[in-house]
């Protein structure tokens, strides 16, 4: 019992002794490698690009160590291919909603550089469409929801506002800062399954019933580059 009380007291002391909290706004561009053959139905190569935006808040800052929690949203909506379907054009839009934790460390004397480890988890919403490219074009649509987990590490380069201004206005004083981050990791996504229904139509529609696109696996390594504003 004494050990648990000591651990709680130590955590409380760290939180009380922590410097001012910071809120980060992050905008990133991600490039992943979706190497599974199922992705070929929606894109001509293995590159899965995504834009994301996140809001992070520092919950623990003890000396050079910092722990942030975050919420964010990712979007990829330009994926389209015709090579895998002789008579159809396929397209895919993916929406990610996630939460995460980032643990970072500032080396002594160079606090503007912070190596970090990063994990995220959430849901992916995939929306797929398949269009008949012939006369009397018909579009078949379906959606699916899957899970996602990400793990990686990187480094951020963040400079405080006073580097750019000799005397920042009081409302814009520390901890306001700006910078960039570079990160690499691996995204695991549960496969998304699409089985669009076939609407009734005339002689020009493709006579498909119970059509399924199978499971689309978007898991793979990822590289991220982004901008961070610390408020």
Q: What are the φ and ψ backbone dihedral angles of 17, each rounded to 5 degrees?
A: -85, -5
Give pLDDT, residue 30.
93
Domain count, the chain: 1
Q: What is the pLDDT of residues 183-216, one digit of tens each?
A: 999 999 999 988 765 554 444 444 444 455 668 8
The SS3 of residue 7 is: helix
Q: Looking at residue 20, what DSSP letter applies? A: -
Query: Residue 211's domain is classified under what CATH number?
Result: 2.40.160
CA-to-CA dists, residue 125 to 1, 85, 110, 192, angstroms? 45, 23, 40, 8
Identify whether 175 is preceded by a cis peptide bond (ω within 30 of 0).
yes
Question: Cα separation of 142 and 106, whole Å?
Answer: 46
Residue 119 lies in a domain: yes
14 in any annotated domain: no
Is 9 within a domain? Answer: no
Q: Give how far Cα 66 sits from Cα of 86, 117, 172, Å.
A: 53, 11, 22
Please report whether residue 164 resides in a domain.
yes
pLDDT in tens, 153-163: 999 998 876 65
Is residue 122 a part of any domain in this protein? yes
- pLDDT, tens digit, for every residue of 102-153? 999 988 888 789 999 999 999 999 988 877 766 556 677 788 999 999 999 9
Please give the residue range of the domain that contains residue 187. 21-230
For the stretch 52-85, pLDDT in tens is 999 999 998 888 898 999 999 999 876 676 544 4
């Amino acid at each position: 019992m004494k050990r648990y009380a000591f651990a709680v007291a130590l955590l409380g002391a760290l939180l009380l002794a922590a410097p001012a909290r910071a809120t980060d706004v992050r905008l990133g561009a991600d490039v992943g490698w979706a190497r599974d053959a199922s992705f070929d139905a929606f894109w001509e190569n293995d590159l899965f690009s995504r834009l994301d935006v996140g809001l992070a808040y520092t919950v623990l800052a003890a000396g050079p160590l910092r722990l942030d929690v975050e919420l964010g949203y990712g979007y990829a909506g330009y994926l389209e291919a015709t090579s895998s379907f002789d008579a159809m054009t396929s397209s895919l839009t993916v929406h990610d909603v996630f939460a995460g934790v980032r643990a970072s460390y500032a080396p002594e004397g160079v606090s503007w550089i912070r190596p970090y480890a990063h994990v995220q988890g959430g849901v992916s919403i995939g929306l797929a469409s398949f269009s008949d490219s012939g006369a009397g074009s018909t579009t078949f649509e379906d959606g699916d929801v899957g899970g996602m987990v990400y793990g990686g590490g990187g480094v951020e380069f963040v400079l405080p506002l006073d580097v750019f201004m000799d005397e920042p206005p009081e409302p814009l004083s520390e901890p306001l800062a700006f910078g960039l981050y570079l990160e690499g990791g691996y995204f695991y996504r549960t496969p998304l399954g699409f089985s669009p229904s076939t609407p009734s139509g005339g002689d020009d529609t493709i006579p498909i019933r119970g059509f399924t696109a199978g499971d689309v696996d978007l898991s793979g390594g990822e590289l991220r580059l982004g901008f961070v504003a610390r408020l």
